[in-house]
Structure 1
Amino acid sequence: MKFARQIFISYAHLDNQPLSADQMGWVSLFHSTLQTLLSQRLGAPADIWRDDKLHGNDDFSDEILDQLAGTAVFVSILTPRYLKSDWCKKEIRSFCQRAEADNSLVVDNKARVIKVLKLPVEAGDALPPVLGRLLGYDFYEIDDEHVPHELDPAYGDKPRQAFLRKTNKLAWDLAAQLTELQRRPQVAENAANDPGPGPRPTVYLAECSRDRREARDAIASELACCGFTVLPDERLPDDEDDYLATVGRLLERCALSVHLVGSGYGRVPDGDRQQSVVVLQNELAAAHSRQHGLRRVIWLPAGVASPQPAQQAFIDALQTDAALQFGADLVSGDLETVKSAVHAALKPPEPAPPPPAPADGARVHLVCDAADRKAVVPLIKLLRARGLEVSLPAFVGDAAQVRETNRQLALDCDAILLYYGAGDEAWKFHQQNDLRKLLGSARERPLKANLTLLAAPPSDDKAVLQALADPDLLDGLERIDDTTLSPLLAALGAKEPT
């Protein structure tokens, strides 16, 4: 797509008045900083236009209309004054109407309108509907007294650094969008002639509490720079039911979800559950991991705590509840550590090395908890004495590669034996659930047995299973010998011990 101009900045002139006579106005500083950063990211001077005239009662000028007609991306700096300015509202409505007329307001799921929030505002019906769906870029922070402050270098070094980080994030996003808009016809032509390897995976970067937003922005910027699509890319609903449905649809598009857990509880959608978006998204992502194999990364920095009882309860549960952690790498290091974990999870898994050929053609995959590795040694020796090959799960390494290795081991065996020892009931449930889904996959080797072996230590849950005596259950709580394993050995036609 061809445009005469790359960026149009729409703003209220009142918002560009400096706080003191020796300072640059906020909009001028924003324009200048964005100009430099965007030019560096594009590798060529960025073409950014804003009207620096004071309009008074002037008519909506032809010059403005001409600039809007040939603009690729419209950047609106929203403030209370902006919403009261008829001139500003004419600018954004005119741009959206023209873009909608040729079906180009949203291109490749990216709106050509950027919402910069200099101060928190509720636009309501004052602006085109597309603005309400956008996440926007918050150029303000709220202090301990709940008073918003612009990210303005005039307030000190910390706001200055935050201003630069936020402008840098916007510059990266704009560079990617402008590049795609310029390449779009060529990309479509190339895709028709050569589909290529396909796009990079999409990442769900979960909404977080205020104390993790800076880290979220950093991760989002890095992923965008590497060519990954990051969701959500629009504002999520405030209604709980709508929120759950929307997040569920977004997760279906993603190969990875990333959850940043901090001391804040996060916003609470309006609904019966009254749970924060942090809790709700983790729950939905865990369910998608169980059902569809969604990979996950959870960042829970070491020592994080919350003064809010609900958030502290979630932090405590997240460290102990296997259901909340399901499918996730729980990362406790710094921001660079979690970035590394995210990139590792996005690497395509390397093919698992083929298991060694069994001596007598029968192979048992022994599924156990990592804490049982020493306890299963006598069992492995017993099975090997009967001419059987035995494989154990992979426990250490890159999460995606470990998952793929274990999947391949389970598919390439003749029998699966779930060793129910150190693992608890939740562990057993998740293992059986994963195996059940896996066994629905195509197999080159028919599965001859799928059994669970009760092993020490005893527990109430194991006692119940012992009493039920299901046919696929082997009772090894007192001892594990040929008699205990006879159903497995018979199914595999194992030889007599030598």
Structure 2
Amino acid sequence: MIFARQVFISYAHLDNQPLGADQTGWVSLFHSTLQTLLSQRLGSVADIWRDDKLHGNDDFSNEILDQLAGTAVFVSILTPRYLKSEWCKKEILSFCQQAEDRHSLMVGNKARIIKVLKLPVEEGSDLPPVVGRLLGYDFYEVDEERVPHELDPAYGDRPRQAFLRKANKLAWDLAAQLTELQRPSPASAETNEAPAEKPAVFLAECSRDRREARDSIASELACCGFRVLPEARLPDDEDEYLATVGALLETCVLSIHLVGTGYGRVPDGDRQQSVVVLQNELAAARSRSHGLRRVIWLPGGIASAQSAQQAFLHALQTDAALQHGADVVSGDLETAKSAIHTALKPPAPPPAEVPAGAGRVHLVCDANDRKAIVPLIKRLRGRGLEVSLPVFVGDAAQVRETNRQLALDCDAILLYYGAGDEAWKYHQQNDLRKLLGSPRARPLKASLTLLAEPPGDDKEILQALAEPDVLDALDGIGDTTLAPLFAALGLSETP
């Protein structure tokens, strides 16, 4: 599509009055910042226009109409004053009407309107319906007393940094949209086909204390070419919300959940559960049914003063079903980002076919067990089995992914319960249960727990229960002890 101008900024002039005589108006600052950032992202000078005249009771000018007709993207800076301004409403209504007349208000899955919220507003029926469906860019924050403040550098360094982060995200998104709008249509293109788009990623809604991190992750994924969902405001009705999120998850290869201290908004419905809880539940179900990969950022030691959120935090850390298919990350934001990028890497090629009669056992153990397991490894290798061991040292995300692949690329998993304590055993078993639902290059024939020294109360209970998937080696390891493993792998009890 061909446009005479890239961006039109629509705003109320009252919102550009500076807080002090020696300061720049907020809209002017927004314009100049966006101009610089967008130009850098495009690699050429961005064409951004706004009307700086005070109109009073003037008629809606032909100049404005001409600018709107040739504009690629309309940026609306919403404030209480904007909603009361007949002039502003004329601008946005006129842009939508002209775009719809040309069948181009929505191009692909993107609206050609960007909603910038300088302050929170209650959007009424005077604005086009598409505006209410947009997510928008919040250029304000709410303090401890629930009072909103626009992100204005005049308020200090922290608001200045937040303003620049928001402007940076907007610039990246705008650059991607303008590039797409200005790409030649398939009928007129004479060059080779455009490269295939990267898959979609579901970045779950989160509580207020994780929004800054969510914006950072969304920007980074967009810069890498991934489509980040949701792209529009999700419904307030619970049934509609569940249906919409479920449909979005069907199109994604990864879902990301950033768990904070707040419970989050609650859709209107019978369940009265927050969007954070509902999205995790839907993603876990999609993981069970279709192998959706997930990353949950659950910082260690996190707690909430809200009882509902604290209950969810406890459930998320103790219920394996809520973690299904997820890599649970407890480090900082950069650790979470590393896990996300690792999860988005193309799957490794399937391993070479294993010769007939051979088998591969993945031995899960605590780092302190590495010397104690040497006799076990020799016994297994003596039966012609390949043995893999966990990786303990390296980048946290890479260690997790390597150990995940080792557990997926084997015929049997043997959990060596020796130096590790009860909590270690629980978390290892929890991780292994989640892996059972993941696609595998080779079928898993056995998943067993081997009890080894030192003795302990928990091990004595497991010894007394004598469950079939528990091997008792507290008095030493012999072929009889390993008989269930050998049988599962098609080997006789003795050589």
Name the TM-score class by shorter chain. 0.7 to 0.9
Q: Say how many residue pairs are matched.
A: 475
How far 1:393 moved relative to its partner?
A: 6.6
For the Cα contact (< 8 Å) 1:365–1:390, is it kept in 2? yes
Shift of 1:252: 1.9
Q: How far 1:300 sits from its partner (Å)?
A: 2.6
Residue 137 of structure 1 deviates from its aligned partner by 0.5
Letter of the 1:388 counterpart: G
Residue in 2 that maps onto 1:469: none
Q: What is the CA-CA distance between 1:77 and the residue it aligns to?
A: 0.8
Q: Secondary structure at the match of 1:262?
A: coil
Q: Secondary structure at the match of 1:200?
A: coil
List per-residue Cα deviations over 1:418-477 (Å, max 9, x = no partner): 6696887897687568557757x7x6xxx7x934556446587898884xxxxxx56744
* Alpha-carbon contact 2:363-2:387 (below 8 Å) kept: no
CA distance in 2, matches of 1:86, 1:154: 29
TM-aligned CA deviation for residue 494 of structure 1: 3.9
TM-score (norm: length of structure 1) = 0.83
Q: Quick one: structure 1 residues 432 and 168, their matched pair in 2 at CA, closer, same or farther if it must change by over 3 Å? A: closer
Matched with 2:205 is 207
Q: Which residue of 1 aligns with 2:233?
A: 235
User: Mean Cα displacement is larger for which, 58-67 or 481-490?
Assistant: 481-490
1:474·1:485 contact (CA, 8 Å) conserved in 2?
Answer: no
CA 1:160–1:367 in structure 2 vs 1: closer, same or farther (change >3 Å)? same
Contact 1:5 1:70 in 2 (8 A): yes
Aligned counterpart, 2:86: 86
1:364 corresponding residue in structure 2: 359
| 2:381 equivalent to 1:389 | no
Question: How far apart, in 1, do the equivalents of 2:342 and 2:258 lie?
Answer: 17
Preserved CA contact (<8 Å) 1:474 1:484? no
C-alpha spacing 1:450/1:87, structure 2 compared with 1 (3 Å): same
Match of 1:260 in 2: 258
Contact map agreement 2:486 2:493 (CA 8 A) in 1: no
Letter in 1 for 2:338: S
| Residues 135 and 234, structure 1, Cα contact 8 Å, conserved in 2 | yes
CA contact (8 A) 1:349 1:400 kept: no
Q: Alpha-carbon deviation of 1:371? A: 4.5
SS at match of 1:220: helix
Deviation at 1:292, TM superposition (A): 2.3
CA separation in 2, counterparts of 1:260 and 1:187?
A: 42
Give the structure-2-normalised TM-score. Answer: 0.83
Give the Cα separation in 2 of the matches to 1:317 and 1:181. Answer: 45
Q: Kindly tell me: are residues 377 and 321 of structure 1, through their superposed partners in 2, closer, same or farther at Cα, counting changes over 3 Å?
A: farther
Checking the alignment, whether the CA contact within 8 Å between 1:454 and 1:462 is kept in structure 2 is no
Q: Which residue in the other structure is 2:455 paired with?
A: none
After superposition, the Cα gap between the structure-2 partners of 1:378 and 1:179, relative to the gap in structure 1 and judged at 3 Å, is same
Aligned CA-pair RMSD: 3.4
Instruction: Assess if the C-alpha contact under 8 Å between 1:268 and 1:276 holds in 2.
Output: yes
Give the C-alpha shift of residue 2 in structure 1: 0.8
Residues 261-300 of structure 1: pairs in structure 2 closer than 5 A: 261-300=259-298
Q: Specify the alignment match of 1:335 in structure 2.
A: 333
Distance 1:77 1:437 in 2: 45
Deviations 1:261-298 (A, max 9, x none): 22222212222222222222222222323332222222
**2:317 corresponds to 1:322:** no
Query: Residue 255 of structure 1: SS of its match in structure 2?
Result: strand
Assess if the C-alpha contact under 8 Å between 1:368 and 1:393 holds in 2: yes
Amino acid at match of 2:385: E
Gaps of 5+ in 1: 467-472
Cα distance between partner residues in 1 of 2:218 and 2:291: 22
Change (3 A) 1:172 1:465: same
Asked if 1:167 is matched to 2:173, the reply is: no
Partner Cα distance (1:243, 1:463) in 2: 49
- CA offset at residue 120 of structure 1? 0.7
In 2, distance between residues paired with 1:213 and 1:436? Answer: 30
Q: 1:492 to 1:351 in 2, by over 3 A?
A: closer
1:185 aligned counterpart, secondary structure: coil
Structure 1 pair 482–332 and aligned structure 2 pair: CA distance change class (3 A):
closer
1:231-275 per-position Cα deviation (integer Å, ceiling 9, x unaligned):
111111112222222222222222222222222222122222222
SS class of match (1:222):
helix
Letter in 1 for 2:13: H
- Structure 1 residues 114-123 or 39-48, which shifts more? 39-48
Query: What is the 5 A alignment of 1:45-194?
Result: 45-185=45-185, 189=189, 193-194=192-193
> Are 1:290 and 1:434, in contact at CA under 8 Å, matched by a contact in 2?
no
> SS in structure 1 opposite 2:182?
helix
Q: Distance in 2 between matches of 1:405 and 1:370?
A: 13
> Are 1:202 and 1:229, in contact at CA under 8 Å, matched by a contact in 2?
yes
Structure 2: distance between partners of 1:275 and 1:143: 25
Please list the CA deviations of residues 346-369 of structure 1 after superposition, one character each: whole Å capped at 9, or x if unmatched: 2223336548x65xx313343564
SS at match of 2:162: helix
Aligned to 1:20: 20
Shift of 1:142: 1.0
